[in-house]
Chains A and B, each alone.
Chain A
């Protein structure tokens, strides 16, 4: 999994600039015309990998905030036996609902403002 992730990131960095190349648009955006929570994440990652933080922020600021959270969730599930309390906390109903509300609020917010 990690290897695939690294390969994808390297490919994004060197060969692929989503601003120039054809890139399939998110199905949600195609059908509704609205940005979904993840729209712009490829461009954001590309900009972030090239160190252009301001540009990355403009493409998908919600996901930049979300990346550390997703990383922690991923690590806690991979090492569930070692950090049982962290895992239990992150997968509790309250935390999941907070994440859900965050994602939905970010989606609505980015389409309004």
Chain B
């Protein structure tokens, strides 16, 4: 297994575990290897955790690993590139506070229940608009566009409120006028 590291705003790699040891990366250096969903702190990756433990144990583990890994190294270089670190919902490391925020973000609400209820009980056309906005929230979120998801979520909420307000005020008003 080889890893890319993220140092000084740059992606570097791939490195074998042994090379990473020589680079003296710190426990909090961000690394990415094939199969990982996002960049992680080096000490959170099981294979690299040994680098930050007792020196004696680490010596054996890494030298063994290098023997196995030397061969496919060229293949990896050709075929694999690490994911971008400044796009998408989970890989933004440009701003540390943003990074922490994104890791614990959950998908914004679609307000589906309210949109359906407002469609049925208050104002049919406006509720439909709310449902349509709500339908885009998850697809935006899971394609990494968190801002877009929030935008659609807020619009869905807005149209639910509009539907409730217009439905609940105009309905009695019109009823009285047409009595």
Residues of chain A at interface, number, CB under 8 A: 30
For window 72-113 of A, CB contacts with B under 8 Å fall at 73-74, 77, 88, 90-93, 96-97, 99-100, 103-104, 107
Contact B123 A27 (CB under 8 A): yes
- Contact for B128 among A63, A66, A74, A103, CB less than 8 A: A103
A28/B125 contact (C-beta < 8 A), A93-B136, A100-B135 known: yes
For window 1-35 of A, CB contacts with B under 8 Å fall at 22, 24-28, 30-31
Contact B112 A88 (CB under 8 A): no
Segment at the A interface, from B7-15, B45-53, B170-178:
B170-178
A91/B120 contact (C-beta < 8 A), A27-B167, A28-B125, A104-B128 known: no
- Interface status of A37 (Cβ within 8 A of chain B): yes
**CB closest chain-A residue, reference B172:** A24
A77/B131 contact (C-beta < 8 A), A37-B124, A91-B137, A107-B124 known: no
Contact B121 A41 (CB under 8 A): yes
List of B residues within 8 angstroms of A77 by Cβ: 109, 112-113
Contact A66 B131 (CB under 8 A): no
- Interface status of A70 (Cβ within 8 A of chain B): yes
Contact A100 B131 (CB under 8 A): yes
- Interface status of A36 (Cβ within 8 A of chain B): yes
- Contact for B171 among A26, A41, A91, A107, CB less than 8 A: A26
- Contact for A30 among B117, B119, B135, B174, CB less than 8 A: B174
Interface residues, chain A, with chain B CB atoms under 8 Å away: 22, 24-28, 30-31, 36-38, 41, 63, 66, 70, 73-74, 77, 88, 90-93, 96-97, 99-100, 103-104, 107
* CB<8 Å pairs between A and B, sample of 27: A24-B171, A24-B172, A26-B167, A27-B123, A27-B166, A27-B171, A30-B178, A41-B120, A66-B116, A70-B113, A70-B117, A73-B113, A73-B116, A77-B109, A88-B107, A90-B112, A91-B110, A91-B112, A91-B137, A91-B138, A93-B135, A93-B139, A96-B112, A100-B128, A100-B131, A100-B132, A103-B120
